[in-house]
Amino acid sequence: MAECFYKNGLNFQCQRCSHCCKDEPGFVYLSKTDLQNLLECYNLSQEEFIEKYCRFVPFYDGSEVLCLQEKENYECILWENGCTAYKGRPIQCSTYPFWSFILRNKETWDKEAVECPGINKGNIVSFEDIQKSKELYENNFPLRKTEL
Ligand code: SF4
């Protein structure tokens, strides 16, 4: 088996450019845990939060899943000069860039660096911490419409 390319960790330090929160269309899927954290953050009921900030989008398995809305300019709906939900932000956001498909190999990691100026900068994030984020990301399933 090939050696894991990040066995000695990876350099990453967010540069706070906010590119991953705006600029391009995207999907921030919400799991049950994410929704719970956001409800506490905004002190809204589930119905209110979903009505104000969410949409349902098709998922690869054919279901419709819960996702944050984005503004017309592609900013995340929760972004106002920074993330207004930072402490309760979704797992998809807090684990970036340690996502399975970005960590597939050195090429996929370096390719992501074109999008994210924090990649390959700053302090080393340990193998263990990378694995923790990757596992959190992999196990964070978006809520299906039928589960609400
Ligand atoms: S794109 Fe990278 S550096 Fe910019 S805010 Fe997102 S994580 Fe931070």
The tokens for 29 are 């899927």
Across 7-33, average pLDDT? 96
Under 8 Å between Cβ of 11 and 63: no
The answer to pTM > 0.85 is yes
Q: How far apart are alpha carbons 103 and 108 in whole angstroms?
A: 7
Q: Which amino acid is at 62?
A: G
146 C-alpha to ligand 1 centroid (Å): 33
Domain spans of the chain?
10-147
- The mean of the pLDDT values for the chain is 96
- pLDDT tens column, 88-114: 999 999 999 999 999 999 999 999 999
The residue whose CB lies within 8 Å of the most ligand 1 atoms, and thus the one to mutate among 10, 81, 96, 110, is: 96
